[in-house]
């Protein structure tokens, strides 16, 4: 129990989470809190289980045949694996942005409106309002407002990724999961995404997987270091990068292995 009443509370929390593909554990007994309206970076060498952990947070691993888990994941006080949980509703509350932007072959407008239409929103004015709000939120509105009904596939890579962020935001999630959202982008588009993440954390709780150590240091408040399926340590980003408790963390953040 924290003594500071202003200390952020966990928005999501994994307790002793083990996730296997078949019989092989990809992550073992991971206990990690994702704090409300903070950015948590998940770092570690390839194959250490970062994406597996991220995908577990909105049960995307359910889609992989043979994936199974033990342990608990809470969203606020709700066990996300409880029988009463509707997975579609969970994924609306915990949205996801992938490494490679994946706009639908539809117009810019329809990409953002998609989840709203699926959710039953029919009113044209309401749809237009929410699409504009989401595009503004994703810092894309000014670039696309005059071409909303053109194909999303005509946008640049960086614009497509911001469109995917707008699409995720349109259904008003509480948590945004980002799996290397800038790894396919050039430095200018990457800087825009990083700036956006900085703005989004006023509203959203964000967990981001990144291979880029500088990016983790720039965008996150907290950093969790994974190694071979284990969570080695998690703490304030500055502490993890300047004064880690564990030797393995120090070796990784100083580039001794990777
Ligand atoms: N769909 C799958 N089926 C079987 N094994 C998988 C699957 N996805 C991941 N794995 C295995 O689980 C382990 C963790 O993978 P994961 O993708 O979570 O790691 P990662 O840290 O995100 O890696 P990277 O940084 O390379 O993306 C790896 O051994 C990987 O081979």
Sorted by where each begins, the domain ranges of the chain are 10-101+175-253
Model pLDDT, residue 239:
97
b/e sequence 220-233, b meaning 16+ C-beta within 10 Å: bbbbbbbbebbbbb
Task: State the Cα–Cα distance between residues 9 and 229, nearest whole angstrom.
Answer: 25
Q: How confident is the model at residue 7 (pLDDT cuts 50, 70, 90)?
A: confident
Task: Tell me which residues have their CB closer than 6 angstroms to ligand 1.
Answer: 21, 26, 44, 46-52, 64
**What distance in angstroms lies between residue 257's CA and the mean position of ligand 1's atoms?**
18
CATH number of 10-101+175-253: 3.40.50.300
- What local confidence, expressed as pLDDT, does residue 5 receive? 74
Atom of ligand 1 nearest to the CA of 66: 3
Tokens 């970062």, residue?
50
Helix pair 157-170, 124-137: axis angle to 10 deg: 130
pLDDT digits (tens, 9 = 90+) for 143-191: 999 999 999 999 999 999 999 999 999 999 999 999 999 888 888 889 9
Per-residue pLDDT at 184: 82
Predicted local distance difference test score (pLDDT) of residue 2: 54
Q: Write down how long the chain is.
A: 258
Counting from 1 in the atom list of ligand 1, the atom nearest the Cα of 48 is 21
Residue 257, pLDDT > 80, answer no
- For residues 237-244, give the mean pLDDT: 97
End-to-end Cα, the chain, rounded Å: 35
Residues 6 or more apart whose Cβ sits within 8 Å of residue 217 = 237, 241
Nearest residue to 92 via CA among 110, 75, 111, 115: 115
Please give the Cα distance from 206 to 220 (Å, whole number).
9
Element (H, E) at 9: none
Distance, CA of 190 to CA of 92 (rounded, Å) = 25
Residue 189 confidence (pLDDT): 85
Mean pLDDT of the 113-127 span: 94
Mean pLDDT for 12-32 is 97
Calculate how far, in angstroms, residue 89's C-alpha sits from the geometric centre of ligand 1. Answer: 26
| Distance of alpha carbon 19 from alpha carbon 179, whole angstroms | 18
DSSP count for the chain of H helices, then E strands: 10, 10
Candidate of 22, 48, 179 to mutate for ligand 1, largest count of ligand atoms within 8 Å of Cβ: 48
Q: Which two tokens stand for residue 60?
A: 């995307």
* DSSP 8-class letter at 220: -
Q: For 51-74, how does the pLDDT look when each residue is reduced to its tens digit (9 = 90+)?
A: 999 999 999 999 999 999 999 999
pTM, two decimals, is 0.93
3 pLDDT tier (thresholds 50, 70, 90): low
Say whether pLDDT at 221 is over 80: yes
> How much of the chain, in percent, has pLDDT values that exceed 90?
85
Phi, psi angles (nearest 5°) of residue 29: 45, 50
Ligand 1 probe mutation, 19, 20, 26, most atoms within 8 A of CB: 26
CB of 227 within 8 A of CB of 252? yes
């Amino acid at each position: 129990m924290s003594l500071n009443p202003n200390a952020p509370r966990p928005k999501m929390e994994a307790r002793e989470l083990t996730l296997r593909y078949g019989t092989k554990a990809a992550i073992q007994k991971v206990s990690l809190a994702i704090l409300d309206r903070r950015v948590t970076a998940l770092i570690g060498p390839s194959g250490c289980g970062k994406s597996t952990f991220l995908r577990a947070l909105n049960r995307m691993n359910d889609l992989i045949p043979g994936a199974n888990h033990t342990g608990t994941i809470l969203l606020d006080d709700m066990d996300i694996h409880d029988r009463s949980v509707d997975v579609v509703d969970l994924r609306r509350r915990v949205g996801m942005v992938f490494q490679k932007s994946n706009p639908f072959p539809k117009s810019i407008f329809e990409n953002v409106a998609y989840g709203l239409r699926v959710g039953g929103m029919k009113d044209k004015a309401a749809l237009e309002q929410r699409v504009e709000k989401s595009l503004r939120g994703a810092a894309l509105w000014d670039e696309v407002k005059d071409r909303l009904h053109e194909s999303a596939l005509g946008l640049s890579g960086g614009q497509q990724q911001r469109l995917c962020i707008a699409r995720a935001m349109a259904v008003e999630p509480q948590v945004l999961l980002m799996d290397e959202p800038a790894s396919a982008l050039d430095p200018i588009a990457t800087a825009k995404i990083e700036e956006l993440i900085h703005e989004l954390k006023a509203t959203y709780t964000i967990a981001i997987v990144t291979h880029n150590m500088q990016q983790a240091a720039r965008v996150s408040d907290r950093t969790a270091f994974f190694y071979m399926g284990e969570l080695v340590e998690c703490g304030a980003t500055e502490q993890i990068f300047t004064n880690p408790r564990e030797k393995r963390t120090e070796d990784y953040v100083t580039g001794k292995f990777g």
